[in-house]
Every structure is written in C-alpha cells, then in structure tokens.
Amino acid sequence: MNTYHEFCRLRDLHIPGVNAPKHTEADAFYMAAAQLAVPVGYKVAPLEPTPEIIAAAAVAAWPTASPADIMLTRLAAPIVLMQMDMAPGTTVEAVAGMLATMAPAYRAMLAAAPIPPAADQHPDDAAVDRFAAAMKAKLALTRAKGRGGWDDPEQCSVDDLTVMLRNQANGGDPVDAGNFAMMIHQRSGRIARPRYAQLDATEAAELQTVLTDTFAHCRPEYPAGIIAWAKAALLEIKDSLRYPATMTAALADVLGLPNFRTGPIAHVYRAAGAEIRTKCEDEQAFVLDRFLRLALEHGEDWRTAAEADITAAHTLAEASKAVKS
C-alpha cells in the first residue's frame, strides 16, 4: 500500500452534501499510518497528548522507579549533561535521579494513548475504541496507585466484582463500570441478579407475612397504608445489598443531621401517627433511618423527596387535629 496515496485519499474524502473534508489532515495521517505493519515493541500514538495521557504520566511519575529504569536513566544522563547547561558539579547520578520516573511515565502515556481509527471505520467501532482507551487510562491510574488483583480469585471474587459494578451502575463512573464488566467477562462470570430479585414463590409469601406482622400496628391512613410500609421494608432489603462502597454527598448530608434538627421533624411524624419514643436519640434515629432510605433511592434529590414526605405527614397531622376537634 502506498501510504502517501492513502493519506491523500483520506484527507480529500468528503461526506455528500458537506463542504468540509470528512477527516482533518492529522486524522488522515493517523488512519493511513495505522494501516502499516507496526514493528514489535512499537505503537502508533497521537501527535498531540490527550487529557488521559497527561493524567497517566502524572500519576505514574509518583512511584519509585525500578532498578531497570534507574539503569536506563544512567545511560540517558550523559546525553542530558552534554545538551543542557547544568549547575557546576552536577553528576551523572544526580541527573539520573531526576530522570528516574520518566520511564514509567512514558509507559503509562503509551498505555493511555487512544487507538487510531481505521479508514471508513463504523461509528460504533470508533466509539468502542475511544471507550477502550478511556478504560485503559483509568486502569493505568489505578495500577499506579498500587491497586490490582481483580484476576486473582484469592483476592477478588466474581461476586465482589458484581457488587462493585452495581455500585457504579447506580450513579458512578461509566468507565469504572466498563472496567468491572470487562473483569467479570474475563473471569468467565455472569452478572448475577440481586438477592432480593431471586425470591421464589414460597420465600415471597413468607416475606409478605413478615411485613404484615411487622407493620400491622401502623395507622391504615399513614401515609398510604401498609403497602407503603411494605415497600419501605423491601427497599431496606435492596439497600442493604447496594449500599455504596464509599460515602456519597447525599448520605453525608443525612448522617450529619444533628438532633436539634431531627427532633422537630420527628414531632411532625409522631403527630401524623408514627410511633416514636420521646427520647431525642429515638427521634433522631427515626428521622435518620427514614431520610437514609430517601438518600439511597433519590441520591442528590433526597431533600426534595424528604420535603414532600414531611409535607404529607404534616397534612395528615393537621387533618387528624381537625377530626379530633
């Protein structure tokens, strides 16, 4: 293949009805070069760095260099001394020490470099390549921080990976979710359904009986009857399995509520019919429990849901007062 002719073809390619060429000259060069046989030990990389490449280099420069990297920099140090004006008395060892982290940074940058698109590549394939490049960059960052072991059953089970994938799918980073899905795929595993979705008919009937007995004391009109309480209990079962691995802003807001704020809120719910003991600890526990459920279900919008819930309880309490008067 004549690389120059292929470059010209790609550079001059037009989309019907569009004046501008389909590819820039840089894109055309990458695609033409990608079709050449790349020798072993080499890689086609973009002419300009991407944010992922810069980030990978920065993180990789932090760890201690290996003995092989130090030996490599000792060979590079004399070249630096010859080409740069260094301070008097600067030694080869001193320069080598300054260059020691460049080798791991270079490898990390190459690992984060996106794959050049092929000529006439389908948009789906191009999107997958971009996503794969983002996944590789994220993996390089986590390796530089000392994390790993996903491929070792002794360190990490497929169930653990499934939990981490679900945590990301419930409002996390799509790149992290993609990496966890890749790990499960490579471990020949399947994404298991949550335990609460695996109840058979007998278990479901037993659960309904428990719910009915547990919440039989609740007033039928509060706020939508026993069904609402049963749904809350079911949500608790789900939440126990998908509680985030790290603290979220919504959870931090709820858990940080002091008792002088939760006390008045508990009074509203008590007036609406909720059975809450008068100790401030019990009032705070009731409100925190109720709002944590909302935070897990609604995320950052939990305050809006909490305001609606308090308003409904207040309305019910006022209606109760009117009936009694």
Is 123 a domain residue?
A: no
Q: Is 311 exposed, middle or buried (0-12, 13-18, 19+ CB in 10 A)?
A: exposed
215 and 280 co-located in one domain: yes
Is 178 a domain residue?
A: yes
Is 278 a domain residue?
A: yes
Is 47 a domain residue?
A: no
The first and second tokens of residue 293, run together, are 């459920």
The first and second tokens of residue 107, run together, are 């490898």
Question: Please, which residues have CB within 8 angstroms of residue 322's CB and are 6 or more apart in sequence?
Answer: none
Enclosing H/E stretch for 39: none
218 and 187 co-located in one domain: no
Q: Are 250 and 300 in contact (CB under 8 A)?
A: yes
169 and 247 co-located in one domain: no
Query: Which of 161, 192, 223 delimits the end of a domain?
Result: 192
Q: What radius of gyration, in Å, describes the C-alpha atoms of the chain? A: 30
Is 271 a domain residue?
A: yes
**Domain residues for 2?**
1-37
Number of domains the chain is built from: 3
Per-residue pLDDT tens digits of the chain, which is 325 residues long: 466 676 777 677 765 555 666 666 766 666 666 655 566 667 777 778 878 788 777 777 666 677 888 888 888 888 888 888 777 878 888 888 788 788 888 877 877 777 666 556 677 877 887 788 788 878 887 887 778 888 888 888 888 888 888 878 777 788 888 999 999 888 877 776 655 444 455 555 665 666 566 555 554 444 444 455 555 555 555 444 456 777 888 888 888 888 888 989 999 998 888 888 888 888 989 999 899 888 888 888 889 989 988 988 888 888 777 655 5
Residue 21 phi/psi, 5-degree rounding, is: -60, 155
The first and second tokens of residue 74, run together, are 């000792």
Is 28 a domain residue?
A: yes
206 and 318 co-located in one domain: yes
Is 109 a domain residue?
A: no
Q: Are 191 and 184 in contact (CB under 8 A)?
A: yes
Query: Which of 192, 212, 227 delimits the end of a domain?
Result: 192
Q: Is 160 exposed, middle or buried (0-12, 13-18, 19+ CB in 10 A)?
A: middle
160 and 240 co-located in one domain: no
Is 293 a domain residue?
A: yes
| Other C-beta atoms lying within 10 Å of the C-beta of residue 181 | 17
Full-model pTM: 0.35
Q: Are 228 and 277 in contact (CB under 8 A)?
A: no
160 and 254 co-located in one domain: no
205 and 319 co-located in one domain: yes
